[in-house]
Structure 1
């Protein structure tokens, strides 16, 4: 009888602290994914939009259109930056002129920021007419074009934050290509985000880790598979810091039935994951709200 009372008491206490009894809704996220498969998923994991081409980077824009960096293919041997509507119609196009286009970012006035990898690595700002408005040369190795740069972003101060994979460095450039700040990374950096507090969040690809450094380049936070049950990180390419302070990490090398996205708190607790049956992992992503719109000022993610 004592054992029975203890069992019921344990059950009661577990229910008392469950999210349902506390009135806490489970975390859900809609998101856009780029990679071998390009799609938008709703909060329940159902694809609501797909695009028939591989992509490197992408954004759902405020008007609902989609900005993509397309992988090189037959139609775009140097890659491309495109804006498409939900029906797949191309509204804007810039064909890459070198080896790859690996970055896109929407800028004010309808401009698009993109990176070109090749013998002359560079950042370009392109106007709505497809003409180059700004060109920023990058100081990157040229022996491996594919591993030159990834998710470069224009900062609110007008400079550019550029992860350089094989060089294992994140650099901040001005509009003339001068390096104003840099930090060495423990593995190839893929995504770098300048946070509101001045720190920089960096996803380190095959190192399966994410670090945060301060303005002096000192590491102030990191999360790795050693911190997480079941080691869910498998090629930490894309990352995003959410308004609540949590960090979402993609696993580019994950395959069918494996964790593709993982959300962790500051104290390294997993609070949300996404798993699906797709054979491909997610290269980069954009977390969206329930209406599949961008989260606040996510332009600089």
Structure 2
């Protein structure tokens, strides 16, 4: 195991050599087929030898990972890794996939399971179920049911449902309160291109949504109207390639991951940071032919990010 980790770190160090000097630097956790913490100088300081779908680094240094399904965990899993390296199983998936696991301020974890009976659960660190209800998404395609589900400050939940082409807002009891349709206006045939993946509630009821395949990021106001859109027409090139994950930084900038970047177009960044005026202020590239599924920015220009993690 130790040799494997060292080899992974060495490989990432070599591949990260294409990163140029930039005024802005970030330290971040990357999740996907490769899982690692990348330092601002392009050197990884930590890797994990398994594919992941979502991840968080807590204030005390504990890392919470949503593991992709594997031979060890046929239905996926959620684990925590203490600063001393001690690994603990929080939840073993019981269906097709576990797609996200959000640590809450109460010390619980909000997870989703995909399968014949898609559901949301809020569990304790010991795996005790505190909340459970079915998700109102399609059941034919398990993999395309839901992604980055998050609990909001008022105790309700946001859940992007990909093939339902909408972000669903659930009450604490599982009632659908409302939903944000991500279909392009006036063109029902474009539904297949507007799969919502990450939804971030911010400001006065706004919701930022990453739409994969549509290659756009949109911001809805509290009335459900789109008030801001980022597409490849706003960027130097086709840089949005399956924009799965995003994070809103304390200053208002948005970091976005393009999951497909690096497969065919090596010039497209895997992470990019934009201002609300759509100015690109930071990018991350490497030579690996796998993308970043989701991520967490941990520090900017050497300063640790404080406050709620908005991703």
Could you tell me the TM-score, scaled by structure 2's length? 0.85
Deviations 1:168-196 (A, max 9, x none): 00011012211112110030000000002
Rg larger in 1 or in 2?
A: 1
Cα offset for 1:87?
A: 5.6
3-state SS, counterpart of residue 299 of structure 1: coil
CA 296–63 in structure 1, closer or farther in 2 if over 3 Å, else same: same
Pick aligned residue for 1:263 from 242, 258, 273: 273
Residue pairs, 1:285-296, within 5 angstroms:
285-289=295-299, 295-296=305-306
Equivalent residue for 2:169? 172
Equivalent residue for 1:80? 77
For residues 247 and 156 of structure 1, the distance between their equivalents in structure 2, rounded to whole angstroms, comes to 20
Cα offset for 1:110?
A: 2.5
Are 1:31 and 1:292, in contact at CA under 8 Å, matched by a contact in 2? no
Equivalent residue for 1:217? 224
Equivalent residue for 1:5? none
1:244 and 2:244 equivalent? no
Pick aligned residue for 2:238 from 215, 231, 243: 231
Deviations 1:101-126 (A, max 9, x none): 00111013421111000111111111
1:161 and 2:158 equivalent? yes
Pick aligned residue for 1:36 from 33, 38, 57: 33
Pick aligned residue for 1:272 from 279, 282, 287: 282
For residues 132 and 308 of structure 2, the distance between their equivalents in structure 1, rounded to whole angstroms, comes to 24
Equivalent residue for 1:283? 293
Q: Which moved more, 1:68-77 or 1:128-137?
A: 128-137
Deviations 1:264-298 (A, max 9, x none): 11111111000012221100011111598862223
For residues 80 and 274 of structure 2, the distance between their equivalents in structure 1, rounded to whole angstroms, comes to 31
Pairwise CA RMSD:
1.7
Structure 1 alignment gaps of length 5 or more = 1-24
Q: Which moved more, 1:256-265 or 1:125-134?
A: 256-265
For residues 216 and 197 of structure 1, the distance between their equivalents in structure 2, rounded to whole angstroms, comes to 11
Are 1:137 and 1:176, in contact at CA under 8 Å, matched by a contact in 2? no
Q: Which moved more, 1:70-79 or 1:40-49?
A: 40-49
Are 2:249 and 2:310, in contact at CA under 8 Å, matched by a contact in 1? no
1:203 and 2:210 equivalent? yes
Are 2:219 and 2:229, in contact at CA under 8 Å, matched by a contact in 1? yes
Could you tell me the TM-score, scaled by structure 1's length? 0.88
For residues 63 and 293 of structure 1, the distance between their equivalents in structure 2, rounded to whole angstroms, comes to 16
Are 1:92 and 1:128, in contact at CA under 8 Å, matched by a contact in 2? no
Are 1:62 and 1:294, in contact at CA under 8 Å, matched by a contact in 2? no
Structure 2 alignment gaps of length 5 or more = 1-21, 184-193
Are 2:25 and 2:301, in contact at CA under 8 Å, matched by a contact in 1? no
Are 1:51 and 1:88, in contact at CA under 8 Å, matched by a contact in 2? no
CA 294–92 in structure 1, closer or farther in 2 if over 3 Å, else same: farther
Q: Which moved more, 1:80-89 or 1:44-53?
A: 80-89
Cα offset for 1:246?
A: 1.1
Q: Which moved more, 1:188-197 or 1:101-110?
A: 101-110
